[in-house]
Amino acid sequence: MTLDYDKLKDVPRLLMEAELKPLQGHRFQPTGFADLGPARYTLPDGTEMLLVESVQSVANRMEMACWDEAEGDLVEGLKGLPYIRVKNAGENKVLTNSILEAHRINSPYILEGQDKSVFDKLKEDAAGMEVGPVDIRVLARIILKCDSNAVIHGVFLAKSNLAGGRLRLPRLLSGFIEASDVRSAESGGVKNDRVDPSGDTKQGFGNVPFHRTEFVAGEINAYFNLDLALLRGYGLSDDVTRLLIALSLFKVRRFLSTGLRLRTACDLEVDDELTVTRPNGFTVPAEDMLLEECARLIGACRLHFADPAVTEVEWKPGKKRGRSKEGAGEGETGSESVAGFEEENQ
């Protein structure tokens, strides 16, 4: 089956979904949030719902689907895609990279160290955007050159000295997992102390009982949304546009086939085939076919990537800055203070 790009030509969104189920048994553990715990909510018709995996988490997991942890590189077929690799200063040891970092190119290990090569290049390429509206078409080309994954998953360069902290690409590809008709499954246990069961529990001694809440559900569904209208708005070449579509669909397929062990107590599998709800008549090709298409298009798009494709920077912490009365470092602005909310707002 080939990827029929013509069926997506005038479609604003490509919407996909897949029904999931626990790999073993019936219970599963959802994502949790600080001061909230599991995200439960009720539909107007009274159906009890549960957020199993958030948009932010699914984005990170779809990026990891492209990464070979054992080899420390992109999976075969995707090598040649650009990204930024960080090494410890003075060592030939890889520390992290823009694919694995939570804020992608906006990672402090890339932009906040003494090695300013990437920062300076971004500033040079974005010259002229300090005032007036940001040209998102130019920005997409800048980001594509150093990390094409960041074009798909979004990035917010929240630095006041990079166009006033306004350089931002929204997500093209998003996804989430939710469960319906949920019921809680209560259980618990005890951490046993074989030596002194009555020891001081505050110090880690003694027997410590604990409570555990898991869930069962009538249905668990994963949903994916590829924003084709936004992608077309970037004005990229046909080959680059097709690459970003093929790569996005590969990420979805790969996540569903290899990335559904969300937590120790949340190991899922696809219970029904990935289906397309919009547009009618479009079918997502198989994972191996999508990987072959990505490899072909990576070769066709090399002129749009950095040369070499992997940009290396050295991590050496920058000089510590003084603190103002408000507790912000010198040169910080309100735009930088929201960097931690990047994942929520893309």
Distance CA 176, CA 240 (A): 26
- Report the pLDDT value the prediction gives residue 2, as an integer from 0 to 100: 84
- Report the pLDDT value the prediction gives residue 325, as an integer from 0 to 100: 38
Q: Give residue 97's domain range.
A: 5-184+214-315
- Report the pLDDT value the prediction gives residue 268, as an integer from 0 to 100: 96
Q: How many domains does the chain have?
A: 1
Q: Report if residue 322 sits inside a domain.
A: no
- Report the pLDDT value the prediction gives residue 321, as an integer from 0 to 100: 53
Query: If you compute the radius of gyration of the chain from its CA atoms, what whole number of angstroms results?
Result: 23
Q: Report if residue 224 sits inside a domain.
A: yes
Residue 173 contacts residue 248 (beta carbons within 8 Å): yes
Ranges of residues in the chain with a pLDDT under 50 are: 322-346
How are the residues of the chain apportioned to helix, strand and coil, as percentages rounded to the nearest 5?
30, 30, 40
Residues 6+ apart with CB under 8 A from 339: 103, 106, 156, 158
Q: Report if residue 320 sits inside a domain.
A: no
Q: Report if residue 278 sits inside a domain.
A: yes
- Report the pLDDT value the prediction gives residue 339, as an integer from 0 to 100: 36
Q: Report if residue 336 sits inside a domain.
A: no
Q: Report if residue 111 sits inside a domain.
A: yes
Helix (H, G, I), strand (E, B) or coil at 50: strand
Q: Report if residue 296 sits inside a domain.
A: yes
Q: Report if residue 203 sits inside a domain.
A: no
Residue 146 contacts residue 118 (beta carbons within 8 Å): yes
- Report the pLDDT value the prediction gives residue 204, as an integer from 0 to 100: 83
